[in-house]
Amino acid sequence: MAADAPPEAETEAAVAPDAAEAEPVAEPRTTLLPGAAALLEKLLARLGDAVIESAACYGDAVVRVKPEAWLQAARIAHDELGCDYLSFIAGIDWMPTPTVAGAEEGSGDTSAPVQPRETTYGVAGSAGRFQVFARVDSTNAGAGLTLKTDITTDTMRVDSWCSVYPGADWHEREAWEMYGFAFTGHPALRHLYLPAEFEGHPLRKDFPLLAREVKPWPGLVDVEPMPGEEPGDDEAAVEA
């Protein structure tokens, strides 16, 4: 199972008329659809200084607000911008992916993609390791906003959105157990997916995926080269 191999359509791809499109185009990265632009403009006007940074990202608006304005941003989005629909709330851990332990000795998960070692932050930046981000949509306007805020590592807290969007309840419980930051004002932060006695926060980057570390990925064992392919190609592919 050469999972990295692109489909056997490579020969067809060679004659594809729009071959030039394979070149990465920078332009769609910074576009903003009209609906999202209108929402962004209103939010910026209302929040003022509480917005740290905003950016356009593939037609969407990404707004990073100060942690103390997180709840206020939700209120404004819900009450004034008409974003009545909560899509999700989730966390991000920007810590660079640690090298898999034991990978050098030939065990462990050598098939996992190698991520860059340096810390970089995504669209609209981040002040530190942890962030919360959420997506709200307006069912009338057919447009939405992506909101982000930073979590200070000494408090590991941010305001809960439950009072604005009741659906935030489960999303915040999930983010709490997966990342370990708490939501002030949440009615009952208890485990959602994990058993009550579970220790650790699985989606943190330093939480190892043990099943993948104690033994090599089974998919690697029976790799056979594709017809017309050098036997060593696949390892090279993973390394690249």
Residues of this chain, 37-76, that bind other proteins according to CB under 8 A: 57-60, 62
Q: Which of residues 219-238 bind other proteins (CB under 8 A)?
A: 237-238
Give the number of residues in contact with other proteins, rule: CB under 8 A. Answer: 75
28 binds other proteins (CB under 8 A): yes
* Contact characters 138-177, other proteins, x per CB under 8 A: -x--x---x-----------------xxxx-xxx------
Q: Environment class of residue 120 by beta-carbon count within 10 Å: exposed (0-12), middle (13-18) or buried (19+)?
A: exposed
Closer to other proteins by Cβ: residue 6 or 106: 6
Are 63 and 51 spatial neighbours (Cβ–Cβ below 8 Å)? yes
CB of 153 to other proteins, least distance (A): 18
Residues 38, 22 contacting (CB under 8 angstroms): no
Q: Which positions from 84 to 123 touch other proteins by CB under 8 A, shown as an x/- string?
A: xxxxx-x-xx---x-----------x-xxxxxx---x-xx
Token pair of 23, please?
């070149």
* Minimal distance, residue 223 CB to other proteins, in Å: 13
7 binds other proteins (CB under 8 A): yes
User: Which x/- pattern, by CB under 8 A, does the window 200-219 give for other proteins?
Assistant: --xx-x-x-x--x-------
